[in-house]
Amino acid sequence: MKTAFKNSFIYKNPSVLIFLSALAILTIGMTILSEGFGVGLVSTSFIKILGKTLCFCLIAIAMDLVWGYCGILSLGHFAFFGLGGYMVGMWLMFARTKDIVINSMVNAPLPPTPNEIRDAVGSQIFGVVGGSEIPMIWMFADSLLIQLLLVILVPGLLAFVFGYLAFRSRVTGVYLSILTQAMTLALSLYLFQNDSGLRGNNGLSGLQNIPGLTEVSQDIISVWFLWASAIALGLGYIIANWLISGKFGSVVRAIRDDETRVRYLGYTVEIYKLLVFVITAIIAAIAGALYYPQAGIINPAEIAPIASIYLAVWVAIGGRGRIYGAVIGAASVTLISSWFTGGQIPNISLGFYTIKWIDWWLVILGFGFVAITLYAPSGLGGLFDRLVRKQVNEESK
């Protein structure tokens, strides 16, 4: 029994338990302090920011797996994130519009037929892009279950096809990065079109209103989503650690360090890379599906290549090659970013010029990021590591 425990990956990765308990304390603490369930010390908007940050942490874990462990600098994972959001958004928007339409037709002389409801929903949703037909891709939008499946299937399939093509022709390094960036750009340009069937640059909106739960206030829903995001993040953390601790993880890390040598050892490198790519794409999509109901709106600009580069920046700042590094990076950058751009810090007046933090935050982030790349290549997680190791060393003395 004891040896079984010693061989289990949780024993090998003590960070899992620490992380999970920290996450639990945070979530329970915030619930107690929230407006919806607790004493109301923490505002609903902050709960939402926290929930969204947890989603970012989840996608950062995916990014860390694919880049930090497998060496594929993907500049396309935010596209999967966005796709996941779109899939869930379709249901949210369709079902809610349908509810509204049915309510508005209650007093009509004849009860509405399914066709009439469909037409009314179509013109409600697609009126902004000058249409009223419901496109084919909305075929399953009425069913939550199928749309949730699509959250996994659509990004997974895209990642599979793209990854298959890219890895098969052995595109590596910066070429692969540029290729993933091209894929992201193509997707976002496609979605920007009005006839893409996803409302062009209007995107999907009103996603914070959950169909059937219109009576429940946002104070409570925000806490539910905080819990959902926390659970997803916890599971993601466990799965990521489990993946990298076994033999699979060793092969993946070996591919990062010397792909050719792994190939000579008889491993089919492409399959490992493809697996990592697809799994992380799915994790990213799930994160997106949890994020956008909290954000309330999704539009193609969110998928633009720059978002994926920011994702890489989070992971690099947090320290890649460490799962907790990714989490630290994503959480710290997004929280500090929303702190700076939220106008909470007073502007500094120099007499001749006023430093507005909203204007200067990106400059600080940009140069700060360069500094971290130059002077602390292992990121914030590296600092954390050094502290822990010091302690361990002192204890062993």
Partner 1 sequence: MIRTFLFLVVYFVSVLSVSAQQNDLQSILNQNSKAVERASRKTLQPVLKSLIDSKLKEVPIFLEKWRAKKVWIRKSDKQFFYINNKNSTPIKLIDISSGEIVGLEPKNKLKQLKPNSGVRSIIASTLVQFQLIDIDKNRRLAALKAIERDANSSHLNALRATINKEPLPSIKARMLRLERLLTIRFDENPTKRIKAINGFAGDTNVDVRAALNPILQTKIAVSTILPEDKNIAKILKVGDSISTQVAYDILVKNKLAPAQISIQERDKSLIANIKNSEIAGIKTSTLDNEQSRIIAYQTLVKIGAVPDFVTNEQRAKSLKEFVFFNQYIETNKTVTTAAKKTLDTINARVKVFSFIDLGLDGLSLASIYFLAAIGLAITFGVMGVINMAHGEFIMIGAYTGYVVQQFVPNYTASIIIALPLAFIVAFAAGVALERLVIRHLMHRPLETLLATFGISIALQQLAKNIFGTQARPLTSPDWLGGSWVINDIISISYIRVAIFFLALAFLFLLLFILKRTRLGLEVRAVTQNPRMASSMGINPDKINMLTFGLGSGIAGIAGVAIGLFAQVTSELGSGYIVQSFMTVVVGGVGNIWGTLAGASMIGGLQKIIEWFNPSNTLAAQTYMIIFIIIFIQFKPKGIVALKGRAAGD
Of 12, 28, 170, 342, which lies in the binding site for partner 1, with binding defined by CB under 8 A?
A: 170
Spell out, one character per residue from 252 to 291, where the chain touches partner 1: x when CB under 8 A holds, - when not. Answer: ----------------------------------------
The string of DSSP letters for 129-180 reads GT--SPPGGGTTTT-HHHHHHHHHHHHHHHHHHHHHHHHHTT--HHHHHHHH
Distance separating alpha carbons of residues 146 and 140, to the nearest angstrom? 6
CB of 165 to partner 1, least distance (A): 5
Give yes or no for residue 178 binding partner 1 (CB under 8 A): yes
Minimum distance between the CB of residue 86 and partner 1, rounded to whole angstroms?
16
Q: Are 315 and 330 in contact (CB under 8 A)?
A: yes
Place of tokens 């794409």: 281
Q: Between 243 and 372, whose beta carbon lies closer to partner 1?
A: 372
Task: Give the residues across from 112 on adjacent strands.
Answer: none
Among 183, 284, 285, 298, which residue sits at the site for partner 1 (rule: CB under 8 A)? 183
**Listed ranges 139-147, 161-169, 232-240, 272-280: which one lies at the site for partner 1 (CB under 8 A):** 161-169
Give the residue from 298, 246, 303 showing the smallest Cα distance to 75: 303
Closest separation in Å from C-beta 355 to partner 1: 10
306 lies in the binding site for partner 1 (CB under 8 A): yes
Q: What 3-state class would DSSP assign to 354? A: strand
Q: Of 113 and 344, which has the nearer Cβ to partner 1?
A: 113
CB of 250 vs partner 1, minimal distance in Å: 22
Whichever of 186 and 213 has its CB closer to partner 1, that residue is 186
Is 309 a binder of partner 1 (CB under 8 A)? yes
DSSP for 2-19, please give it: HHHHHHSHHHH-HHHHHH
Instruction: Choose the stretch contacting partner 1; rule: CB under 8 A; options: 30-38, 147-155, 311-319, 385-393.
Output: 311-319
Please check whether residue 369 is in contact with residue 317, taking contact to mean a CB–CB distance below 8 angstroms.
yes
Q: What is the dihedral of CA 318, 319, 325, 330, to 10 degrees?
A: 30
Q: Name the segment binding partner 1 (CB under 8 A); options: 143-151, 159-167, 247-255, 275-283.
A: 159-167
Q: How many CB atoms lie within 10 A of CB 263?
A: 14
Is 102 a binder of partner 1 (CB under 8 A)? no
**Which DSSP letter does residue 42 get?**
B
Tokens, residue 327? 């989490």
Which 334-393 positions form the footprint of partner 1 (CB under 8 A)?
359-363, 365-370, 373-374, 377
C-beta of residue 274 within 8 angstroms of C-beta of residue 160: yes
> Residues 103-142: x/- map of binding to partner 1 (CB under 8 A)?
------xxxxxxx---------------------------
Binding of residue 4 to partner 1 (CB under 8 A)? no
> Do residues 138 and 86 lie in contact, with contact meaning Cβ atoms separated by under 8 Å?
no
Q: How far is the CB of 314 from partner 1 (least distance, A)?
A: 11
**For residue 26, which phi and psi values (nearest 5 degrees)?**
-60, -50
Residue with tokens 């960070």: 15
**What are the C-alpha distances in Å from 44 to residues 31, 49, 65, 154, 274?**
11, 9, 32, 32, 40
Nearer to partner 1, 14 or 366 (CB): 366
Number of residues that bind partner 1 (CB under 8 A): 51
Interacting residues with partner 1 (CB under 8 A) = 73, 109-115, 162, 165-166, 168-171, 173-175, 177-179, 181-183, 185-186, 189-190, 192-193, 195, 305-306, 309, 312-313, 316, 359-363, 365-370, 373-374, 377
